[in-house]
Homo-oligomer: A and B are copies of this chain.
Amino acid sequence: MNDVISTIIEHRSIRYFEDKPLSDEQIKTIVSCAQSAATSSYMQAYSIIGVKDKLCKKKLAELAGNQEYVEKNGHFFVFCADLYRHSVIGENEKKNVLPSIESTENFMVALIDASLAAQNAAIAAESMGLGICYIGGIRNNLEEVKTLLKTPERVLPLFGIAVGYPKQITDHKPRLPFEHIYHENEYQQDKEVYVKQLQEFDEVVSSYYEQRTGGKRKDRWTEQMAVMLERPNRVYMKDFVQINKLDLK
């Protein structure tokens, strides 16, 4: 196993960091790694906002559901899908690019571009001995996040990544069985096999929680998912996305 693969495999989310900021050089390296990711049709349809300001971080932490590690870390990156840039380009080049920019296709492109860049940033940070945690919680209150970070129309903050010197080492969380995530040649739709794989994974997750909590918790994964998904979350998202002139047609 080479260093790259072991860095990738060793990933776990870190939620407690030393009170030590990243250096500008570290930030630059991480962003430069993000930018090295592939980008659909060379579009580079994303932006990164690095939050250093303490008050801004405190406010973001509140907006993300009082997650302390959004405030207390070495640096906080916000990854945004960004088609504002391309609207400015359209204006300057005097081409009507709006139908394109407002399409579901390019909404997807921007999400994919931002996510590929983010994962490069995450792996780069981890390779430097730093810990990371993705923060989807910034999507709890995007209107306020948008005002705080002054993002224009057609820019959608997707998630944050808290980065810092780890204060605590956490466990790996088990993943779905290889055979369930990976299909050969075609999607395996045999329901019996499919459900059996889920049951096997339920046992793995259940004993993971049992061991970790000294028997207090032993929820199955499918149970956890069903309970969580029964209550729709961030139901304002479609409107928010469309008000920001993305994913319209």
Contact = CB atoms under 8 A, between A and B. Distances in A.
Interface of A: 2-5, 7-11, 13, 27-29, 31-38, 40-44, 46-53, 56, 80, 85-86, 88-90, 92-93, 95-97, 99-101, 103-106, 108-109, 111-112, 115-116, 118-120, 122-124, 126-128, 132-134, 136, 139, 148-152, 155, 158-159, 173, 175-176, 178, 181-187, 189, 191, 194-195, 198, 221-235, 237-238, 241, 247, 249
A3 B3 contact: yes
8 contacts: A4-B123, A27-B182, A42-B173, A97-B225, A101-B229, A105-B234, A152-B187, A155-B187
A97 B29 CA distance: 41
A40 B233 CA distance: 13
Given A100-B229, A103-B234, A149-B186, 13 more contacts: A5-B124, A8-B37, A9-B32, A9-B33, A35-B181, A38-B134, A48-B183, A85-B198, A88-B191, A93-B222, A115-B115, A116-B118, A119-B119
Contacts of A5: 29, 33, 124, 127-128
Contact of A178 (B28, B38, B88, B233): B28
A152 B132 CA distance: 34
Contacts of A183: 47-50
A115 B226 CA distance: 23
Contact of A230 (B8, B80, B96, B195): B96
A49 B112 contact: no
Q: Considering the complex of A and B, which 5 residue pairs feature the smallest CB-CB distances, nearest first?
A: A4-B127, A115-B115, A93-B226, A119-B119, A97-B229
Given A31-B178, A44-B181, A150-B187, A95 B230 contact: yes
A49 B89 contact: no
A191 to B, nearest CB: 7
Contacts of A127: 2-5
A199 to B, nearest CB: 9
A184 B52 contact: yes
A33 B198 CA distance: 20
Given A35-B176, A103-B237, A186-B49, A108 B111 contact: yes
Contacts of A189: 150, 152
A136 to B, nearest CB: 5
Contact of A53 (B136, B185, B227): B185
Nearest to A2: B127
